[in-house]
Structure formats: C-alpha cells, structure tokens
A and B are shown apart, each in its own frame.
Chain A
Amino acid sequence: KNQVEQSPQSLIILEGKNCTLQCNYTVSPFSNLRWYKQDTGRGPVSLTIMTFSENTKSNGRYTATLDADTKQSSLHITASQLSDSASYICVVIRIKAAGNKLTFGGGTRVLVKP
C-alpha cells in the first residue's frame, strides 16, 4: 500500500532554534515530492517541490532533502520564527495517464514559542 508517514506528529521549539521534520514514503514509482505549510484553518501552501533526481531544495529558511534510495525526505527549518507555527505536510506524487495521484502524509504540527 502506498503510504506517506511523517514524524514527529507534533513539535514545540523555541523561537530562533532549528528543527527537522521527517517524511518516509513507500509510494512507488514517484515523480516528485512536495512539502506544504498549512496554517490553522487555511489551505496548504507549497514550500518546496523536488523531483526524484534532486537531493535538496531551499526556500528561504526552509530546506528540504530527498533520498530516493531510502525513500526518505526531511524539512529543515532554520532560525524558527513565530510565524512558522503551522502544520507541515509531505506529499508524494505519482504521475499517471489518468491524472496525478497525490498521497498525503498526516502532517507535523509545529509550535514555535517565544
């Protein structure tokens, strides 16, 4: 069964500190992997998109890594800010003739405290 597992489920960090979120997947074959940020009560917003051939992708203080061999990805947040408090969702995409197949992880809820 194609799955995307994220850890931890939730995380509390102090403002200014770094943190790393994990994503393990069994989706195969896959075309790309995305990390989304979802503020409470709002729709997800894309942070990074990586194809299977890319190892790392940055977007400001967010850096995603991908190891296609071990089927693992991580999202690193540098120098966290209060506005980073949100859920972070890992999504693995398979491109099929009948349309994209997106498999979502359950998300990691991050709370940044002052």
Chain B
Amino acid sequence: EAQVTQNPRYLITVTGKKLTVTCSQNMNHEYMSWYRQDPGLGLRQIYYSMNVEVTDKGDVPEGYKVSRKEKRNFPLILESPSPNQTSLYFCASSPSTGGSEQYFGPGTRLTVT
C-alpha cells in the first residue's frame, strides 16, 4: 500500500531532550516536506527536500533540523525541544515539485513540558 508513515505517533518529552521524528514513504517520491499544525494557525511548512541531499527551509524552520540521506526517509530532528514546539506534525511527499499531489502522513502529536 502506498503510504507515508511517521513515528512515533505520540510523544511527550521534556525541554532540552533531543528527539527525532521519522518519516518514510514507499512511493519513490522526490519531494518531501514537514509541517506543523497549531490551532488557529493552519499548517505551516518547517523544511522541505526536493531530492536526496537537497533540503531547504520553509516558513518556520527555527529549532528544527532535517536530513535526506535516502530518498524514502526524511527525519525531523529537534536538538533541544522547547514548549513552543508542542504541536501536531505532519510529513508529506509528492512525486515532484511541479504542483503534483501531496500525500500526508498520519501525524505526530508532540508535547514538550
């Protein structure tokens, strides 16, 4: 089944404890992206990747890192999480950057205390 998977789905952590949220797609998509969703603010892009080893900042990249060593994986790294990073995170992928359909993962709900 074609899908985007994220792990973990739920995470509660403490301020400053490094964490990684994994994202994997099995559709051989070139383009992958991370978003956060907060009440009243809609979805905002954190980072995106146009292909392996090609990443760039989105609208709200502060406090986050990403890597794209393989086409299928695009992990989101929080080196030192803070409470303002408490949010619902979505990974998405699409075949290319040419306006094609984006497929979203199921989401990761992160709470930083």
Q: Which residues of A contact B (CB under 8 A)?
A: 4, 31-32, 41-46, 49, 51, 89, 93, 95, 98-100, 102, 104-107
Pair B101/A49 contact, Cβ less than 8 Å: yes
Pair A99/B56 contact, Cβ less than 8 Å: yes
What DSSP secondary structure best describes chain A's contact surface?
A: loop
Q: Which of B42-50, B66-74, B76-84 contacts A (4 or more CB under 8 A)?
A: B42-50
Q: Which residue of B lies closest to A6 (CB)?
A: B42
Cβ contacts under 8 Å, A4 to chain B: 42
Would A99 and B50 be within 8 Å (CB), given that A104-B43, A105-B42, A107-B42 are in contact? yes
B34 interfacial contact with A, CB 8 Å: no
Pair B106/A95 contact, Cβ less than 8 Å: no
Closest beta carbon of chain B to A93's beta carbon, Å: 6
Pair B106/A31 contact, Cβ less than 8 Å: no
- Distance in angstroms between the alpha carbons of A98 and B58 in the assembled complex: 11
Closest beta carbon of chain B to A62's beta carbon, Å: 16
What DSSP secondary structure best describes chain B's contact surface?
A: strand
- Distance in angstroms between the alpha carbons of A98 and B98 in the assembled complex: 11
Q: Which residue of B lies closest to A93 (CB)?
A: B99
Pair B42/A104 contact, Cβ less than 8 Å: yes
Pair A100/B99 contact, Cβ less than 8 Å: yes
Q: Show 5 A/B contacts (Cβ-Cβ < 8 Å), sorted by A.
A: A43-B4, A49-B101, A99-B56, A104-B43, A105-B42
Query: Which among A32, A43, A95 is the interface contact of B104 at CB below 8 angstroms?
Result: A43
Pair A106/B107 contact, Cβ less than 8 Å: no
| Given A100-B48, A106-B42, 11 extra CB contacts under 8 A | A32-B99, A42-B107, A43-B4, A43-B104, A45-B104, A93-B99, A95-B97, A95-B98, A99-B97, A104-B42, A107-B42
